[in-house]
Amino acid sequence: MPNKLPTKLKKEPLLDAVFEIRFSTQVPASSVLPGILFNKLDGKKILEQLPPTQLPKQMRDADPNLRFAPLIRIQWKEYLLLIGDWNVAVGCKMPYPGWTNFKNAIIQVANILKEVGIIEGIQRYSLKYVDLIPFADLQKQVSSVRLRLNIGDHILSKEVFLLRIEIPQDDFINVVQLVSSALVTAQDKTTKQGLVVDIDTIRDVGNQQFNDLISGLGNNLDIIHNKNKAIFFDWCLTPETLDFLEPTYE
């Protein structure tokens, strides 16, 4: 049986949380969706163009690193909507509003996308959380996660490192990145130092019909959220690090 997972951490390590869908469409989404989302979503909003809009579309489409780059950002309540030609993402402003609120925002945006009707098929959807374990000491950073790494006879103990690994699990791929000695500027403009734990949980669905995804979206979101959360708490953090973050349980 998996361990019971915390519902909240009193020492919140979260830096970023983003849900993304990638899709096929006959019309570049960035030319249609920003105006519709801006008009249909309630509350105060700010629409911004992002630097990749200055590049020719042919260049963006030809470069795998740019194809899914967000072109338009809409600040909406506690959230950030990131819109590219072939993808839409919903991110959170900090402090994190909690999974229930985040999930409801994703569903609200998805229902608007369904109404617009330009999305033909979904290639993948993903949920990414980025956390910072705030230990300045390198030895503490290495020992804060359940990582055992050696090259030859040398065992990692207090060295700077960057690790990326793709872990298949059921129908998902969990892309886990660990970056030590990181200096991060948080959304509140404060600078923090420590170990970055970046977990991107991806579900590749081929070319699933968008309406099929929407019909079970609430359940699918809970499943991918639980996968991502378990990787962080059960696989990455040591019991000592979890205690340091002061978990609370329902």
The per-residue pLDDT string of the chain (250 residues; one tens digit each, 9 = 90 and over) reads: 457 899 999 999 999 999 999 999 999 999 999 999 999 999 999 999 999 999 988 899 889 889 999 999 999 999 999 999 999 999 999 999 999 999 999 999 999 999 999 999 999 999 999 999 999 999 999 999 999 999 999 999 999 999 999 999 999 999 999 999 999 887 778 888 999 999 999 999 988 898 888 889 999 999 999 999 999 999 999 999 999 999 999 8
Q: Is residue 193 part of a domain?
A: no
CA pair distance 176, 200, nearest whole angstrom = 7
Question: Do 53 and 82 contact (CB within 8 A), yes or no?
Answer: no
* Cα(13)–Cα(197) distance, integer angstroms: 10
Q: Give the residue from 99, 84, 96 showing the smallest Cα distance to 23.
A: 84
pTM summary value: 0.95
3-state secondary structure of 138: helix
User: Is the CB of residue 57 less than 8 Å from the CB of residue 137?
Assistant: no
Indicate the number of domains in the chain.
Answer: 1
The CA distances from residue 56 to 24, 47, 63, 76, 250, in Å, are 19, 21, 11, 28, 50
Tell me how far apart the alpha carbons of residues 81 and 106 are, in angstroms, rounded to a whole number: 10
Burial class (CB in 10 A: 0-12, 13-18, 19+), 247: middle
CA pair distance 133, 86, nearest whole angstrom: 33
Residues 6+ positions from 239 with CB-CB distance below 8 Å: none
User: In this predicted model, what pLDDT tens digit does every residue of 26-65 receive, in sequence order?
Assistant: 999 999 999 999 999 999 999 999 999 999 888 998 898 8
Report pLDDT for 4.
Answer: 86
**What CATH code is carried by the domain that includes residue 68?**
3.30.590
Q: Does residue 20 sit within a domain? A: yes
User: Measured at the alpha carbon of residue 51, what is the angle toward residues 89 and 195, in degrees to the nearest 5?
Assistant: 60
Structure confidence by residue, pLDDT tens digits, 117-139: 999 999 999 999 999 999 999 99
Q: In terms of Cα–Cα distance, which of 107, 51, 119, 111 is closest to 79?
A: 107
Residues paired with residue 233 on neighbouring β-strands, in sequence order: none
Whether 83 is in a domain gets the answer yes
- Taking the chain, what is the end-to-end CA distance rounded to the nearest angstrom? 18
Quote the CA–CA distance of 163 and 196 in Å, as a whole number: 10
- Could you tell me if residue 226 is inside a domain? yes
Examine residue 35 and state whether it is found in any structural domain, yes or no. yes
Amino acid at 178: L
Range of the domain at 73: 8-130+205-248
pLDDT of residue 148: 95
